[in-house]
Amino acid sequence: MVKAYRQEHVYKHPWERVSAASWRKFADPENKRILSHILEVDTLNRKLDTDTGKLHTTRALTIHAPGPWFLHRIVGQDICHCVESTVVDGKSRSMQVNHQLLPQSFVEATIIKFLMVKAYRQEHVYKHPWERVSAASWRKFADPENKRILSHILEVDTLNRKLDTDTGKLHTTRALTIHAPGPWFLHRIVGQDICHCVESTVVDGKSRSMQLITKNISLQKFVEVEERISYDPHPENPSAWTVCSQETSIRIKPLSALASMAEKVEQKCAEKFMQNSAKGREVTERICRYMEAESARV
């Protein structure tokens, strides 16, 4: 959305006097107190078009950035750089002035700030072989005993499962319905407390690798979440241990209703994801121990 306004003022002086005064207002030392928001003015270019008689001037302005103090605190700066382009046509007695923010200036810095991504990485070592851990990962949602611990998972549906006979890789896509992460006020703002996600999994039995990518498909106009999990044999003990690496990124959309509180929401979401990750590891560990005991009885 664009905030636009129009103002009009009548100077009871001829055009020649007013246009000249416009040029002099930054140069006159007496005006510095009134125009205290103007920090510096530099003329970059001045050219007279001999065909049209128009004078083209470009100046660089450094000013105190507009907006409240907390906006300056968010973007980490309180100055703004602008370019002023002026065209003066003496024949038609016209003066046109245009101001434009430079790239990486205050407004752009604000947008970049709100586009920042909250990301974190976790790693966990299961003292179980890869085959057992990958099998436990499949079973954790199916086992009724885990529903109490994984109470944030409401529903899991397999959409597609395909074995690539050329590579031996198993590709699976599942739909997950979960309780939306984040604080209570987030649910109030977005108008719902559940979130729909798609989980894509690739299992390569030959290389003993399992890769999962989960993305939200609802609430995308407010927040984008991507979680990547990999299960691989531990480099120090590949036959008996498995390392689980998890990377999660959370990004609040810059123009959503959550943009003004992006950092707080991202932090709260990250905390909730880390709590849920710990629950998932607890369940996987329990299933691994159960499978270990089961295999020992055989």
Same domain, 174 and 289: yes
Same domain, 181 and 87: no
Number of structural domains in the chain: 2
Residue 2 lies in a domain: no
pLDDT digits (tens, 9 = 90+) for 57-82: 988 888 887 766 665 565 566 777 78
Neighbours of 160 (CB within 10 A): 10
Same domain, 172 and 290: yes
What's residue 112's pLDDT?
46
Residue 92 lies in a domain: yes
Same domain, 89 and 193: no
What's residue 105's pLDDT?
44
With b meaning 16 or more CB within 10 Å and e meaning fewer, what string describes 268-293? bbbebbeebbebbbebbbbbbeebee
Same domain, 105 and 245: no
Residue 128 lies in a domain: yes
Residue 272: which domain range? 117-297
Strand order in the sheet with 79-89: 38-48, 54-64, 79-89, 94-101
Domain containing residue 217: CATH number:
3.30.530.20
What's residue 111's pLDDT?
46
Same domain, 137 and 284: yes
Place of tokens 């001045």: 46
pLDDT digits (tens, 9 = 90+) for 143-167: 777 888 888 888 999 999 999 999 9
What's residue 148's pLDDT?
81
Same domain, 95 and 51: yes
With b meaning 16 or more CB within 10 Å and e meaning fewer, what string describes 92-104? eeebeeeeeeeee
Residue 223 lies in a domain: yes
Same domain, 53 and 141: no
Same domain, 189 and 105: no
Question: Which amino acid, one-letter code, is at 32?
Answer: K
Same domain, 98 and 204: no
CB proximity list for 204: less than 8 A, separation 6 or greater:
167, 168, 169, 210
Query: Which of 50, 85, 113 is a domain's end point?
Result: 113
Residue 7 lies in a domain: no
- In the chain, which residues have pLDDT < 50? 1, 104-114, 255-257, 259-260
Same domain, 92 and 187: no
Nearest-angstrom CA–CA distance, 88 and 71:
36
Same domain, 201 and 225: yes
What's residue 114's pLDDT?
47
Residue 266 lies in a domain: yes
Residue 1 lies in a domain: no
